[in-house]
Structure 1
Amino acid sequence: MPRVGPLLFVLCLALAGPASAAVQSPLQLESEIPLGSVRGRIDHFAVDIQRKRLFTAELGNDGISIIDLNERRLLRTITGLREPQGLAYVASTDTLYVANGGDGSVRLFRGSNLEPAGRIELGTDADNIRVDPQSGHILVGYGNGALAIIDRDTRRKIDDIPLIGHPESFELDPAQARVFVNVPDANEVAVVDLAEKRQVASLPLNNLHANFPLAIDPDEHQVLTVTRSPPRLVAFSTRDGSQTGVVRTCGDADDLFVDAKRQRVYVSCGQGAIDVFVRRDEVYAFLARIPTRAGARTSLYVPELDRLFVALRARGGAPASIRIFRPEP
């Protein structure tokens, strides 16, 4: 299949002319759940599918919100953390992992009551967390440049994979034992070999900077990242590392998800919007912009629930909340 060069910004809905007003939004607001007196920055999410619970990292409040998705309400808050950022729930051990940027620790909570179950010291700035479905290991980005590998059973750090800068969002390639890691300080997406536990390649961003969110489109064998300066959605081939597309998107993006069912991409931005793109072969074309609220840059798309969750910070007179969007059709 021929490679596609840098793409022009495509306003697909505009091509429909006056009839575009009748086009149904690709994301329908289903409900909004207030978070109470939450102030400051809200970071990442995790979900317990079986119990239908959503976990939200309240970095500015040093806590974790636990939300009942059946009743659409806040259940309680875990307090006493230090700038919680990354979250991961591991169903096989019924454990919630919480990475704390303030003290570099990973705290563990287990069971239906989320009782404290341990603490792993990484050093500084513990951030994003992912779970390796093959080994069951927990990967945590932290410090000035490393991915920590934590054993699920012993709950201990067993190894480090060095990087040349602090890792932001990263994802495991389901087709190969590789991890694609955003390293904004190096202006690149690092390619890590899990078996060798080292970086084996780099996908340079050149004149694009501040790459924070990242996702993998396994059907198209592409890794996607979003830069903030300027705001662009960038695609690379996971096969040979070539850049396959660049498209304008909303500003101050922090999360990015692929909806494989609909061949869409969702980008949540602190500018106060979610940008929706549709995939046509290797081309990601702009489909719609859904307004949210300034600062609402954190989101989570859960394919098992077919819902997109977006965290809205308290702003002006509006309290912090979680908006739940249902993709359509």
Structure 2
Amino acid sequence: MQLETKIPLGEVRGRIDHMAVDQKRLRLIVAELGNDTVSIVDLARRSVIQRITGLKEPQGVGYEPSSDTLYVANARDGSLKFFKGEAYEAAGGIDLGGDADNIRIDASAGHVVIGYGEGRLAVLDAATRKRLGNIPLKAHPESFQLDPDGGRIFVNLPDAHAVAVFDSASGKPLANWPMDKGGNFAMAIDNDRNRILVAFRRPPELSVFSMVDGKRIATVDTCGDIDDLFIDRKRSRVYASCGSGFVDVFEIDGAVYRRLSRIPTASGARTSFFAPELDRLLIAARATSTEPAAIWIFRPLP
């Protein structure tokens, strides 16, 4: 990978959490948890054009294009806030009750799914923004992924040392896969190979499982404090971003996952977003004593 540029975020302090893309406007949405703000970054102009303030530890962000709505999940008060249109104007919200976290957009079903609390997934109707239901879990959900082909939701439950599988339409549990390692925070879905990738922090490893029965296919060491994981379908690669200050790049060769490179970033830069439409990996680097907070843009090679 080649570091293409760094986009300064300005006066942003503390931890930076998840990101999303408003593809229609070519904008990156950055949850600045420690700063109680969300930044809107114009990727064409490579600059911050707006900052949403007054939030309470924003963790998850998601942009739903059909309703032109930005969703922001707040950890401190458990609220889910809505912002509409070109200027992301405040449009209300709902109270989820605590620790609102990851957001996923289910475009085919017209749903927005949010992990929150001690163990719940809230399902909202994207058109009306009304809550349709809740899926109970055994523990707080970290990364979860939607399988558009199989109608399933795969959920990382690190406190329960498990990956739970649910029917996305009914919310009924389909399977529970016990994990023999700790800190399964990051997850990616590989539809081309019918596999789920789960990254662990204790010890730092990437494991690959069959989506059919949960059987482990491969395991490989990773960088430490991993938080995000993405599949590059074009190149048959995996990108893993870590708070230890690295991005690991893996090549997929059948059932073998081979590390191609370990790219230095910055300490604490553990959250990332891979945008296939842009063919770029975006890394969120928090402010240090010598460097301001910034979005690092990497271009995959070749």
TM range (shorter): over 0.9
In the alignment, does 2:42 pair up with 1:68? yes
Q: C-alpha displacement at 1:123, in angstroms?
A: 0.5
Q: Give the distance between the partners of 2:289 and 2:199, measured in 1 at CA.
A: 28
Q: C-alpha displacement at 1:38, in angstroms?
A: 0.7
Q: 1:198 aligns with which of 150, 172, 179?
A: 172
- The 5 Å alignment of 1:110-149 reads 110-149=84-123
Partner of residue 328, structure 1: 301
Q: C-alpha displacement at 1:199, in angstroms?
A: 2.0
The unaligned stretches of length 5 or more in structure 1 are 1-26
1:50-90 Cα deviation digits (max 9, x unpaired): 21111100000100011010110111210000100011001
Write out the 4+ residue segments of structure 1 that deviate beyond 4 Å after TM superposition. none
Partner of residue 53, structure 1: 27
Q: 2:238 aligns with which of 265, 270, 274?
A: 265
Partner of residue 219, structure 2: 246
Q: C-alpha displacement at 1:316, in angstroms?
A: 2.0
User: 8 Å contact 1:237–1:244 — kept in the other structure?
Assistant: yes
User: 8 Å contact 1:162–1:198 — kept in the other structure?
Assistant: no
Structure 1 length as normaliser, TM-score?
Answer: 0.91
Structure 2 length as normaliser, TM-score?
Answer: 0.99
User: 8 Å contact 2:108–2:148 — kept in the other structure?
Assistant: no
Q: Give the distance between the partners of 2:121 and 2:257, measured in 1 at CA.
A: 30
Partner of residue 209, structure 2: 236
The unaligned stretches of length 5 or more in structure 2 are none
In the alignment, does 2:212 pair up with 1:225? no
Structure number with greater Rg is 1
Q: C-alpha displacement at 1:298, in angstroms?
A: 0.4
In the alignment, does 2:74 pair up with 1:82? no
User: 8 Å contact 1:213–1:255 — kept in the other structure?
Assistant: yes
Partner of residue 170, structure 1: 144
Higher relative contact order (CA 8 A, sep 6+): 1
Partner of residue 66, structure 2: 92
Q: C-alpha displacement at 1:252, in angstroms?
A: 0.2
**How many corresponding residue pairs?**
302
- Let me know the Cα RMSD of the aligned residues: 0.8
Partner of residue 281, structure 1: 254
Partner of residue 180, structure 1: 154
Matched-pair identity in %: 56
Q: Give 2:100's aligned amino acid.
A: A
Q: Give the distance between the partners of 2:240 and 2:98, measured in 1 at CA.
A: 28
SS in 2 for 1:185: helix
